[in-house]
Amino acid sequence: MRIAKGRWVHRMIKQAGTRAAHAEKELALYRFALENAYEGIVIADPQGIVLTASRAYASFLQIEMSDMIGKHVTEIIPNTRLHIVAETGKAEIADLQQIRGQWMIASRIPIWHNGELVAVVGKIMFQHIDRLFEMNSKYREIQSHLHYADAKSRDSSGAKYGLEHIVGVSEPIRKLKTMAAKVAKSDSTVLISGESGTGKELFAHAIHRESLRRFGPFVAVNCAAIPETLFESELFGYKEGSFTGAKRSGKKGKFSLAHRGTIFLDEVGELSLSQQVKLLRVLQEKEIEPVGGDRPEPIDVRVIAATNVDLGKLVREGKFRQDLYYRLHVVPLNIPPLRERRDDIPAILEALLLQLTKETGIAADGIDKDCERLLTGYGWPGNVREMRNVIERALYMMEGTRLSRSALPEELAAGSASGPAAFNRERAQADEFEARASTREWLHEDSAVQSPPASELSWKESMAEHEKSLLRGALARSAGDKQKAALLLGMSKSSFYQKCEQYDIRY
């Protein structure tokens, strides 16, 4: 069949060829844009088979693009949900996903054509969650410069750790991390308890970062370090001219700095009764009154508190207000000590060694089996904090490139002398000591710690002498070790030091 030039058939074929060339050029442009996109993008068919992806996505997965095409998404993308979106047809926007140990924000979008699902697009919005926090910090900085004269006082979230930084494989830690992630989604008050060095502040940081307030500030307060005379000005702030030496512009307190974020009250059990009253009012009314202010100011903060003492026991002894206890004890999280979760010790040792080799610049290939066995069997009364100090010291004492038994401190290298059995014996002695101390039985074992006759002293003086006797007796039984002496008396170390200083007790 001969087609005459210029006739309608010839014109139709020419137009079709032009459209095809234009479509091919447009397709090549789309393909070029996809492959060179900065964001990680992957496209799969309704069965979850990869059709194409961007080079950035392939590079992030550390895989060649040719090795991705034609494979099911579950074979190449850890923790993927693209195939699930293909089944449900429901988009998932800005979802958290962990790939190769990094948390990122990803979206998964189904593509429909004429009522039929034809593909699913996955897109990484932030290849690392810290990029989002960096962007938020920049936005807050720009906003503060534009809208606030006191921009310097405004800070971005101070939470440095997430749940991924909490190392542990034991059942108690897994349950605690699950509970922390669950409670983080609400604004309920959390009370974290546990011995010193177990990682209470780590959990507080992680709860904030998992919460809806994660873009707000995280303000940590050590309650034991605030003098009673400065308690109100530090926590609630003060107005201009409220007292001698006050800043001309006044000062915001910790609660104001934590507005729309989280305030972490560490060592809350060390607060005096008068301080407890002031804190209780803030928790009840959700408002503060700065020193020198003439009206209350509303605040919007989430409270996380922590303690290494038994608050319930302090309530029964009249040392902690019951109403404040119930305000704080809404969602309790109790972190067990290392000696009760020995399965976590190898993983924590590995993480600490990696961290400390970076900080100190000392290369270490690992830990000898004999050394690891000794470290795992030790009682760790100071928990992770003590373990970190031991590993850091061992790095400097190490000969060669592996930690060995000879690099460990003598008391730990002795093994049985400082192991879990000995620590359990110390705890048993502490329980016995506490039971005997309650009846003053031990006071008469040594004339050096006996009190003067009660008839010669007032009630207040008798109580002071009784406290001195308890302190001196505990120091004598612990051979001058103040940490052990505090343990014998069931006190926190800071309270023990304060009492010794109050009564000028030296050992």
Rg value, the chain, Cα: 32
**In the prediction, which pLDDT does 465 show?**
80
* CA torsion, ordered 79, 85, 90, 94, to nearest 10 deg: 30
CA-closest candidate to residue 434, choices 344, 313, 327? 313
Longest dimension (CA), the chain: 133
Per DSSP, 36 falls in state T
450: phi > 0 → left, psi -120 to 50 → alpha, else beta; which?
beta
> Hey, what are 353's tokens?
């060694």
CA-closest candidate to residue 215, choices 139, 145, 287, 101? 139
> Hey, what are 129's tokens?
């969650």
Q: In the chain, which residues have pLDDT < 50?
A: 129, 132, 145, 147-156, 415-423, 425-426, 428-431, 433-452, 454-455
User: H-helix or E-strand containing 121?
Assistant: strand 116-126
Q: How far apart are CA 283 and CA 41, in angstroms?
A: 47
The 10s digit of each residue's pLDDT in 307-325 is 999 999 999 999 999 999 9
In a 3-state reduction of DSSP, which class is residue 217?
Answer: coil
- CA within 13 Å, CB half, 91: 10
- CA within 13 Å, CB half, 339: 16
The CA distances from residue 206 to 132, 203, 464, in Å, are 16, 5, 43
Strands 301-307 and 261-266: what pairing?
parallel
Q: How far apart are CA 329 and CA 313, in angstroms?
A: 13
Q: Provide the CA 188 distance to its chain's centre, in angstroms.
A: 17
In a 3-state reduction of DSSP, which class is residue 278?
Answer: helix
**In sequence order, which residues have a C-beta less than 8 Å from that of residue 258 and are 6 or more positions away?**
216, 217, 218, 219, 299, 301
> Hey, what are 201's tokens?
């502040």
Per DSSP, 485 falls in state H
Residues facing residue 95 across a β-bridge:
106
Q: How far apart are CA 504 and CA 126, in angstroms?
A: 58
**In the prediction, which pLDDT does 188 show?**
95
Q: How far apart are CA 369 and CA 297, in angstroms?
A: 59
Q: Other CB atoms closer than 10 Å to residue 210's CB: what's the count?
A: 20
Question: What is the phi/psi pair of residue 108, to 5°?
Answer: -130, 120
**In the prediction, which pLDDT does 40 show?**
79
**In sequence order, which residues have a C-beta less than 8 Å from that of residue 204 and are 6 or more positions away?**
190, 192, 220, 262, 264, 266, 304, 306
The 10s digit of each residue's pLDDT in 96-116 is 777 766 777 788 999 898 889
Q: How far apart are CA 71 and CA 53, in angstroms?
A: 12
Q: How far apart are CA 480 and CA 412, in angstroms?
A: 19
Per DSSP, 3 falls in state P
Q: Provide the CA 162 distance to its chain's centre, in angstroms.
A: 5
pTM, full prediction:
0.55
**In the prediction, which pLDDT does 355 show?**
92
